[in-house]
């Protein structure tokens, strides 16, 4: 079963315009545009593991547009609809579920920002983000001083928390200092420039194999105002706990969990046992053994509300 990770406040990853024409050999290349692709692919993998939305914007210009030099614009023709140059770079590992945002279709507008674009079904980028309750947008791609910058500024205007992943962007730098000035402008406007996804720890990480109780616990914790990451596999929970900062509480539901003893032993290496709440289940590990390991525990049967109240007390006392 695939991991089911969800956040009370969601983030999304956006890959901006990693197309053939913006990479070496293309019509309007950013020097080193292809060298950032391994970093982007690593972020794509991490985003998939965290089950968060992934977007990929693309320039999708008509053949005749005031954006191009032959028609009075500043740029050579590039990323023309249906052309080879408009294709995503072949080394870019976009997952099948990535949401493509097409922009630049208006022949009278440049369409630098992904917020000028739309999904395949015609929904605006911002509307799609809002529909998915996204409030943090991680941005990668090309080019720093044009499409990345304009996208970041528009995201900030829309009230989103913007994080620029600086190891996964590149610019044209037509004039010396353009890239540095663009990064300074984004930072001054309120964007964070950093490396890595999901730096802020959730309040709770919840492990439960069964979907229904996991979903109910998570929903009620969110109602209490806590940010929650929920997963159905120990490897995904362990990934969350191995990075700093750590959550304020880990909840483990033993029912249906493969090799619960090994999970609890590993968990003692990752979290202070006093910050772990174990929901015991018949046929898994005896409550006395859980207590001996130093973990807090609640024995079945228990009402979801009572479990959430106990969890809230532990969190607020931390």
Q: How confident is the model at residue 9 (pLDDT cuts 50, 70, 90)?
A: low
pLDDT at 200: 58
pTM of the model: 0.64
103 is catalytic: yes
Number of Cβ within a 10 Å radius of residue 10? 16
Q: How far apart are CA 162 and CA 153, in angstroms?
A: 9
Q: How far apart are CA 79 and CA 30, in angstroms?
A: 14
pLDDT at 218: 87
Catalytic residue among 23, 34, 59, 103: 103
Mean pLDDT value across residues 45-64:
92
Backbone angles phi, psi at 278, to 5 degrees: -105, 130
Q: Where are the beta strands (DSSP E) in 222-290?
A: 228-231, 249-253, 276-280
79 is catalytic: no
pLDDT-above-90 percentage for the chain = 66
Mean pLDDT of the chain: 90
Q: What is the pLDDT of residues 16-35, one digit of tens each?
A: 999 999 999 999 999 989 99
147 is catalytic: yes
Contacts 24+ apart (CB under 8 A), 307-311: 307/217, 307/277, 307/279, 308/217, 308/220, 308/221, 308/224, 310/277, 311/204, 311/221, 311/249, 311/251, 311/277
pLDDT at 3: 32
Report the phi/psi class of residue 206: left, alpha or beta, with left for phi > 0 and alpha for psi in -120 to 50.
beta
Q: How confident is the model at residue 137 (pLDDT cuts 50, 70, 90)?
A: very high
Number of Cβ within a 10 Å radius of residue 146? 23
Mean pLDDT value across residues 121-126:
97
Catalytic residue among 23, 59, 128, 147: 147
Q: How far apart are CA 78 and CA 85, in angstroms?
A: 7
Query: What does the chain come to in residues?
Result: 318
pLDDT at 123: 97
Q: In which order are the strands placed within the sheet that holds 161-170?
A: 99-103, 54-59, 10-16, 134-142, 161-170, 192-194
Q: What is the pLDDT of residues 241-274, one digit of tens each?
A: 876 578 899 999 999 999 999 999 999 988 999 9
Q: How far apart are CA 294 and CA 141, in angstroms?
A: 46
Q: Token pair of 83, please?
A: 């052309």
CA 23 to chain centre: 24
Selected residue with higher pLDDT from 240 and 164: 164
Q: Of the segments 107-121, 202-216, 266-280, which one has the largest average pLDDT value?
A: 107-121
Lowest mean per-residue pLDDT among 193-207, 265-279, 280-294? 193-207
Lowest mean per-residue pLDDT among 52-61, 121-130, 174-183, 190-199? 190-199
Does residue 198 carry a pLDDT above 60?
A: no
Q: How confident is the model at residue 89 (pLDDT cuts 50, 70, 90)?
A: very high
Q: How far apart are CA 148 and CA 150, in angstroms?
A: 6
Q: How far apart are CA 39 and CA 194, in angstroms?
A: 13
pLDDT at 215: 86
Q: What angle do CA 241, 287, 208 make, to 5 degrees?
A: 40
CB 217 within 8 A of CB 246: no
Pick from 183, 190, 113: nearest CA to 156? 190
pLDDT at 51: 81
Q: Which whole-number Å values give the CA distances from 50 to 2, 98, 139, 144, 159, in the listed order?
A: 11, 14, 16, 26, 23
Lowest mean per-residue pLDDT among 60-64, 141-145, 216-220? 216-220
Number of Cβ within a 10 Å radius of residue 274? 13
Q: Which domains, and CATH codes, for the chain? A: 10-194 (3.40.50.850), 204-317 (3.40.50.2300)
Does residue 6 carry a pLDDT above 50?
A: no
């Amino acid at each position: 079963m695939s991991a089911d990770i969800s956040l009370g406040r969601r983030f999304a990853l956006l890959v901006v315009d990693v197309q053939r024409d913006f990479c070496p050999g293309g019509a309007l290349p950013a020097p080193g545009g292809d060298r950032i692709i391994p970093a982007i692919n690593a972020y794509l993998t991490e985003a998939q593991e965290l089950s968060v939305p992934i977007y990929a914007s693309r320039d999708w210009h008509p053949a005749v547009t005031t954006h191009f030099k032959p028609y009075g614009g500043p740029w050579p023709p590039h990323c023309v609809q249906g052309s080879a140059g408009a294709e995503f770079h072949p080394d870019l590992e976009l997952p099948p579920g990535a949401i493509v945002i097409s922009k630049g279709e208006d022949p009278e507008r440049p369409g630098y920002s992904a917020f000028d674009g739309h999904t395949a079904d015609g929904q605006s980028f911002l509307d799609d983000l809002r529909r998915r309750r996204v409030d943090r947008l991680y941005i990668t791609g090309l080019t720093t001083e044009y499409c990345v910058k304009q996208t970041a500024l528009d995201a900030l205007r829309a009230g989103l928390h913007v994080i620029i992943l600086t190891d996964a962007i590149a610019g044209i730098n037509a004039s010396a200092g353009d890239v540095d000035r663009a990064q300074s402008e984004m930072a001054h406007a309120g964007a964070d420039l950093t490396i890595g996804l999901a730096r802020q720890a959730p309040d709770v990480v919840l492990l439960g194999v069964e979907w229904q109780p996991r979903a109910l616990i998570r929903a009620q914790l969110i109602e209490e105002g806590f940010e929650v990451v929920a997963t159905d596999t120990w490897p995904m929970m362990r990934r969350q706990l191995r990075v700093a900062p750590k959550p304020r509480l880990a909840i483990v539901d033993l029912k249906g969990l493969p090799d619960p003893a090994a999970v609890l032993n590993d968990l003692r290496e990752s979290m202070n046992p006093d910050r772990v709440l174990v929901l015991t289940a018949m046929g898994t590990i005896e409550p006395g053994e859980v207590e001996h390991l130093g973990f807090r525990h609640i024995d079945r049967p228990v009402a979801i509300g009572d479990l959430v109240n106990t969890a809230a007390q532990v969190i607020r006392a931390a």
